[in-house]
Structure 1
Amino acid sequence: MARRWTPQRFVMLRRIRVAACAIIVTVASMATFGVTARKTVALDVNGETQTVTTYAMSATRLLQEQGIDVKSHDLVQSTSGDKLANHAVVTVRSAYQTTINIDGQQVPFWTTATSVDQLLGFFEENESAAAKVTVDIDNVYNQLTGGLVINQNGPVTVIADGKTSVAPNGKLPAASILDSKGIILGKEDRVSVEKNGDETILRVQRVTHGQETRTVTVPHGTQTIVDDSLQPGQTVIRTQGEDGEKQQAYNVTYVDGAVESETLVSETTTKIAIDTVIAVGPAAKEDTSTSNGDNSSKNDTGSGSAGSSNGSASNNTNSNGSNSGSSSNSGNAGNSNGSNSTDKGNSNSGNSGDSSNSNNSNNNSATKPESNNSNNSNSGNSGNSNNSGNSNSNNSNSGANNSGNTGNSGNTGSNSNNSTNNSGNSNSSNNSNNSGSSNSGSSSDSSTAQGRLWHATVAQAQAYAAGAAAQRGWTGQNWTDLVKLWNRESGWLWYAENKSSGAYGIPQSLPASKMAAFGANYRDDAAVQIDWGLSYIAQAYGSPSKAWAHSEQYNWY
């Protein structure tokens, strides 16, 4: 009997057909994936090549599968980019640190070069007119520096102890070449390799130390005193000054006999300087009429040019008795903060004569974090003023330069306290006399280099980047596009910062802390910034030219 066709049976058969189709599609997809995802890749690690089979989709994943630990400065290159393709070649070169010299500055440099000659060639690839770069080999017996082959292609010129010779086999490391020449290195001697056209030079510099003693002249000073026995305006030299002498001992470092640096270790005075003593007569007194507790004044003009001040000065005089004389606030006075007041009884007077108390501040602000500030002040100018009686004067000055540009002034009295750098014993008419002491205070960036390429100039940064980029194979148009890219981003300034976004440094890292993977001093060290920037371009775009094309289209990269 035939089976009856029912709706339930129809639904069941349809479900079976759908399930079978799904299984067939899944199996086909897996088979296709297995065929297409399975790759055969050549993996070259530091010159050792092996063929591996992998299902990894990227070069990064492949290296993880193979247990290859890649450090920050190691170079990883794939013929198919980071997206791994069948028959791709993945190359890994472990970086080590050596020291190069750019414009006299020693810079640690991470490199994968197999010879010194190759390393120097990196810097010549992009910058034929760049600053001269040398490789400093701190220890020629160290496998990572001096153990490098010097010149793979030819002879090496050896310069040491004032003699020049040629080593025919440049494929030997520095230690072997020096041994063959009978050159024995001292503990502090320096060995470097440089290029001079097609010539490779291995140079030895001898470092020695010694002590030098020098005699230094100590200039004598000048003292001025008021002598009542002299006529007003009369001047007599009481003591003729003599310069002193002192002996200074220095520890000196010599490089090939030339002084490189020196440090003062001791100082002894052998002859004391004697000041010149000049006696001057008292100032001429004018007729005055006084009454107990009364002060009278008349206005005369005292000529003299007032100095400009960037600090502040105040002269406060309290007198009991009489205060008479001619005082004026005329002449060339800049923003005067002094005052002349006439009161009966006790009087308080400010600055008399040509006074200039200006509070002008000079702030030198730069984009750079460091700044240089100096404060200079000129204060205290008097015209024709005579102060007599028992007075207590307190003169205070803040700033660096205190100069008295005075007309005809004479100050007599006693009990002068806390007088700082003000002189009232100068006689001049329509002339500028600067008396007192001048102390100029300036602050500058005293931080020493704490990184690899600390606070680099644009030229130093580009010289460093030229070698680092060439090491990745980025020469020609790639180098040209890199220069244009970072000119647009930062002008190659290590301190460049986008105030709106916070992007920082030569490559304009956003945020800046991303660069910390290549060095803790990323905010000040151009080498750290450049190393990170090149690594970022390699991972994100593959080359500077592609990064520049993206920047051209979107105005960012």
Structure 2
Amino acid sequence: MRIFSKLLPASRQKLVISSIGIVVLVAFASFMLFQVTQKEVVLVENGKDSTIDTHANTVEELLEEVGITVAEHDQLSHDIDVTIVDGMKIEYDTAHKVTVVVDGNEKVYYSVADTVNGFLEENKLSITERDEISHNLDEAINGDLTITIKQAFEVAIQDGGKEVKAWSTGGSVQDLLAVNNITLSELDKIEPAIDEAVTKDTTISIVRVEKKTEEVTESIAFQTETRTDSSMEKGEETVLASGTDGSVVKTYEVTYENGKEVTRELLEEEVTKESENRIVVVGTKEPAQDLVTLSSGKELTMTASAFTANCSGCSGYTATGINLKANPNQKVIAVDPSVIPLGTKVWVEGYGEAIAGDTGGHIQGFRIDVHVPTKADAYQWGVRKVKVKIIE
């Protein structure tokens, strides 16, 4: 410097020093002007604040300056052509792609919400406490997200004849029963099967099955034993023993479905009292009466029983060809032709006028059978002594 000073005249030295001072002064002034003209802006990016000193004139320039590109669905607090002023607060949120799948139906959203619940409220998507959602409601959204929602639906369960309403979001029948604390016994029946999938159209039917062992005491009806006595006239009867019913204990396995009996299976039976037969003695002795040639007005005392053509295996036709099934009220008696010839008109006490139109294996001697329409009538007639008058 000293050498330089020696080489320059004093006036030139002063000029150089002045020029340097001016340059420094201008530079300082420019620096101060740069500092003074900067604007302080608060930029909130995705919830994080940062203070920026900038000479940008518009919001767009500021975002370019900090390297932010605003996409279509992003959220910006100001239009991009708004002028930057000192103390301005600009908020920018990056939108995330949120795919919502509701019961298999997919829809795409873009959201700047911070949480799953915020996103649902933002898009007016409601869920109930019964619905099933893949994420917690307070879970933060930090990027693209897929939310799966299964909406609950009501399922009718017919349980043992009583209807129960249950809510389901799918799964199997077994899952639904478990959630609703419904248990099945080994014998119970269910439709559809427990491994079948539950849908909105599913109706579940449970038949409650129960088996019980039951003892029933039943009577054993006595039988009637008939004995013959040749010392007694035909038509006479004597009861030697009235007969006594016995008893038997039967053990059954009874199956109930929904409380109603459906089957009864006999397992065993034990006779606790034997029955005693009713014993009836009937006479076989023919009455002491001469067989005579009958004439009009002749009166006989005879034993009369009753028969009906309305029986299994009966043809309905008499020995003389009368069709009793076609004429159930016709008065006809069966006779021993050696006593009363076939075709004879008679009057029978308690029966009325009739024709001797039939015979029978047990109709012998002074015995007749009167025809009646039904078995009930025959039982009512029984066996009795009657007067028979020959008409012609």
Same fold (TM over 0.5): no
Q: TM-score range by the shorter chain?
A: 0.3 to 0.5
Q: TM-score, normalised by structure 1?
A: 0.27
Which is richer in strand? Answer: 2
Larger radius of gyration: 2
Which is richer in helix? Answer: 1
